[in-house]
Structure 1
Amino acid sequence: MRTWLLILLLPVLTPGWDGPSRLGLLGPRVEFSATPVALDAADPARRRVGRLTYLGGVELKSPDLVFGGFSSLMVERKRFTLLSDGGNIVRFDMDAKWRIGARQFAELPGGPDNGWRKRDRDSESMIVDRRTGDVLIGFEFANAIWRYDHQLTAVHAHAAPRVMHRWYENGGPEAMVRMPDGATIVFAETVQPKARDGSKTPGRIAIRFAGDPTVRPNAGFGFVYLPPTDYDPSDAALLPDGRILVLNRKFALPFDFTAKLTIVDPRAIRPGARVRGEEIATFAAPLLHDNFEGLAVLREGPDTVIWMVSDDNQLFLQRSLLLKFRLEP
C-alpha cells in the first residue's frame, strides 16, 4: 500500500504535453543529511524493543523531492545501497558517528517496460546472490524477478515466473530471501485472488524456488506465510543461524504505520504448509514507527546486527528512517 508523488518533469521539457507524468529521477548530485534519532523521543535513554537492542539510527532528509521511497537496502560494512520503489539508487558510506560520505546516485539500467512510468520500475525487494555477487530485484506490477550485476549497472537475466502471473499488480514480490542451499523464497505482499476452485488463502502466498528464479522460474513449490493479524510482509533477510527474519508492516487510518518483526523456522517450510513466525519486536508509539520496507542482516564480531529502512512515500507526513539494532540471544 503506497501513495505516489510523481514529479512532473515532462511539461517543462515538452510544453503542452498532457500524457502520463515522467517517473521522477535523481540527478547526478543530490544533497541529503543524516540526523540521529532516538528510539523513544520521550525517553532518549530507552534501548530495548522486544528482543532487540537499539544501536542508533538516523533520519535521511533531502530538498530533492524525488529522494526517498526506499523499499530495500544492502549493507556491506560501512557501505549502504538504498533502492527506491521507483528504481532510484542511493549509495553512501556511514561511519560509527553517523557521518555520511562518498555519495553516489543512479537509476536501475533496465527493468519491466520502458521505465517511463513508476509502475515500470516498481522495485520492491532486493537480495544478493553470495555465490556470484549478482543482485536479484523483485518488481511489482510485472510480478517479475530481474538479475543485475553487483553494482546495478547491467542486466544479466530476468523472468516472470508462471506461479506469480496471477498475483495482484500492487501486491507482488514485496520480500525475498536467499537460503544457504541456494533456494530463493519470494513472499507476496497481499492476500491473492481466489484460486480456480473458489477457495481463497487468508495468508500470503510464498514460493520457494529451487534456485535462481531468473534461471529456473518454474522449479520449486508454494506455501503460505501467516503474518501477524492485519500486517503484510514488506521484506525478509536470512539470519546467521539459517532462520528467516521477516519484516511486517500495517497501515491504519487516519495515517499511521506500525511494524512487527517475526522469525520463521525454515524447517516448517514444506509444499502447501502454513507457516507462522515468532514475533520478536513491535514498532508502534511511543517508539519510532513508520512504513518500514527494507531489511538487512549482517555480523559485527559476535553480534547479529539488523538494519531497517522506511519508505516515506515521498510525503511530508512520513520519514526516511535508517535504524540499527542488535538481536539478543
Structure 2
Amino acid sequence: MKWPLSILLILVLVPDWTGIDRLPLLSPDTTVHAAAYVPKGGWPRRIGALTPIGAMRLRAADPAFGGFSALSVRGGAATLLSDGGNYVRLAIRGNRLTTLAAGSLPQGPGTGWAKESRDTESLAVDPRSGHAWVGYERANAIWRYSADLRRAEGHVAPAAMRRWPMNGGAESLARLNDGRFVVIAEQARAGSARQALIFSGDPTASATKVARFRYQPPRGFSPSDAAVLPNGDLLVLNRRFSKFRFYAALVRVPASSLRADATVGGTVIAAWGPPLVGENCEGLAVTQEKGATMVWIVTDNDLAWYRPTLLVKFRLN
C-alpha cells in the first residue's frame, strides 16, 4: 500500500533509517488483548446494506504487532496477516478473543526482513482444508502455505503480473466458490481500472490457466481486499486517503461478470469514514452464522503506535 505522508515523515526522521523499510518479526509469545470499540456518537442502525454488530480494538506489547492487510475468518477463528509477513490467529467467542498463535511466515520471495522480501498484502483460504494463498505485492508473486502457516508448499510469479506496479500489486486475493481465484492490483498503470486475473484453480499449480480482466473501483478509491459471498458474488473493499483521513467503500460485483477480458464494476453497498471508522480498512472476510451473512474488516495502522488496530463485524442485509 501507499504509506501516508505522516508515516513517511516519521520514518525519515529516524536516525538509522536508510530508505529501506525494515520489518520486525512478530514473537510466537505475543498475546493479543481486545477492548470494545464504539465510535464517537455510537454506531448507526445501518450503514448502507450493513448492520453494525460490534468492533474490537486490538493491541499487543510486541512492537511488530499491527499493520494488518489481510483477514480470514474460519471455524470460529480469525487470521490476521500483516503487510510484513506477520500473522496472529484469534479464537472468537462472542465478545471474547483468545490468542491461538502468532508468528511470521517461514518463507517468501526473499530471505531478509526488508519490505521487498516480506510485503504480504492479501490472503485467500480454502474453507475445507485451510490451505492459505498469500499475495506478495512487490514480488508480484503468490505463495501457498499449510493451514497453520508454518510451511510453504508452492509459489508462482505469474507472467501476467510481472509488470504490475511494484508498490501497488496483489492487494486483493480471493478464492471463488468454484475453486477459481481472483487477484486484483491496487494501483493502475494507466486510466483508473485495475489489472486483475482469474486463475482456473490453485495459482501455484503448473496446469492452472490464467485469464486477464479489469476492475473499476469507485472514483477516487483503490481496492484493498476482496472476499466471496455465499451466492458467488465478489465483495471488494476499497479505500481512499484524503486530508489525513481514510474512507472506505464496499462494492458488490456480480459473479456472472467475472470473466476473461471484461472490465467489471459493481454496486456500492456501503460507505463510511470518520467518525465511524476513520482508519485504513485493508482486510476483508465473509462468514455465515445461522443463515446470516457476516462481513468482517480489519484495519492497518501501518505499525504506528498512536493508531488503533480495529476488527469490525457487520451483518449483510
Contact 1:159 1:217 in 2 (8 A): no
Larger deviation, residues 49-58 vs 285-294: 285-294
Q: Which residue does 2:301 correspond to in 1?
A: 312
Larger deviation, residues 243-252 vs 122-131: 122-131
Instruction: Check 1:217–1:121 CA distance in 2 against 1; reply closer, same or farther (3 A cut).
Output: farther
1:212-223 equivalent positions in 2, closer than 5 A: 212-216=202-206, 219-223=209-213
Q: Which residue does 1:114 correspond to in 2?
A: 111
Distance 2:185 2:27 in 1: 32
Q: Which residue does 1:151 correspond to in 2?
A: 148
Distance 1:316 1:217 in 2: 45
Q: Which residue does 1:2 correspond to in 2?
A: 3
The alpha-carbon deviation at position 213 of structure 1 amounts to 1.3
Cα RMSD, aligned residues only: 2.4
SS in 2 for 1:49: coil
Contact 1:85 1:123 in 2 (8 A): yes
270, 283, 300: which one aligns with 2:259: 270
Q: Which residue does 2:56 correspond to in 1?
A: 58
Q: Which residue does 1:195 correspond to in 2?
A: none
237, 244, 250: which one aligns with 1:261: 250
Contact 2:122 2:171 in 1 (8 A): yes
Distance 1:272 1:317 in 2: 43
1:1-329 equivalent positions in 2, closer than 5 A: 1-2=2-3, 22-38=22-38, 40-42=39-41, 44=42, 46-96=44-94, 98-130=95-127, 132-192=129-189, 200-216=190-206, 219-253=209-243, 255-328=244-317
Structure 2 unmatched ranges of 5 or more: none
Instruction: Check 1:137–1:257 CA distance in 2 against 1; reply closer, same or farther (3 A cut).
Output: same
Instruction: Check 1:102–1:131 CA distance in 2 against 1; reply closer, same or farther (3 A cut).
Output: closer
Contact 1:182 1:211 in 2 (8 A): yes
Distance 1:114 1:19 in 2: 18
Structure 1 unmatched ranges of 5 or more: 193-199
The alpha-carbon deviation at position 201 of structure 1 amounts to 4.1
The alpha-carbon deviation at position 252 of structure 1 amounts to 1.1
Aligned letter for 1:248? N
- 1:18-42 per-position Cα deviation (integer Å, ceiling 9, x unaligned): 896753012232243211112x421
Instruction: Check 1:236–1:99 CA distance in 2 against 1; reply closer, same or farther (3 A cut).
Output: same
SS in 2 for 1:156: strand
Instruction: Check 1:59–1:217 CA distance in 2 against 1; reply closer, same or farther (3 A cut).
Output: farther
- 1:91-135 per-position Cα deviation (integer Å, ceiling 9, x unaligned): 122321x22224421110100111321221111110112454311
Distance 1:131 1:158 in 2: 20
**What is the aligned-residue identity percentage?**
42
Larger deviation, residues 28-37 vs 142-151: 28-37
Distance 2:272 2:207 in 1: 35
Instruction: Check 1:256–1:102 CA distance in 2 against 1; reply closer, same or farther (3 A cut).
Output: closer
The alpha-carbon deviation at position 287 of structure 1 amounts to 1.7
| TM-score of the superposed pair, with normalisation by structure 2 | 0.91
SS in 2 for 1:281: strand
Aligned letter for 2:64? V
Distance 2:256 2:21 in 1: 47
Contact 1:161 1:217 in 2 (8 A): no
Distance 1:22 1:248 in 2: 27
Distance 2:45 2:219 in 1: 26
Larger deviation, residues 302-311 vs 278-287: 278-287
Contact 1:161 1:218 in 2 (8 A): no
Larger deviation, residues 212-221 vs 161-170: 212-221
Contact 2:121 2:171 in 1 (8 A): yes
- 1:243-265 per-position Cα deviation (integer Å, ceiling 9, x unaligned): 01100001112x11110000000
The alpha-carbon deviation at position 181 of structure 1 amounts to 2.0
Rg comparison, structure with higher value: 1
SS in 1 for 2:117: helix
Larger deviation, residues 53-62 vs 23-32: 23-32
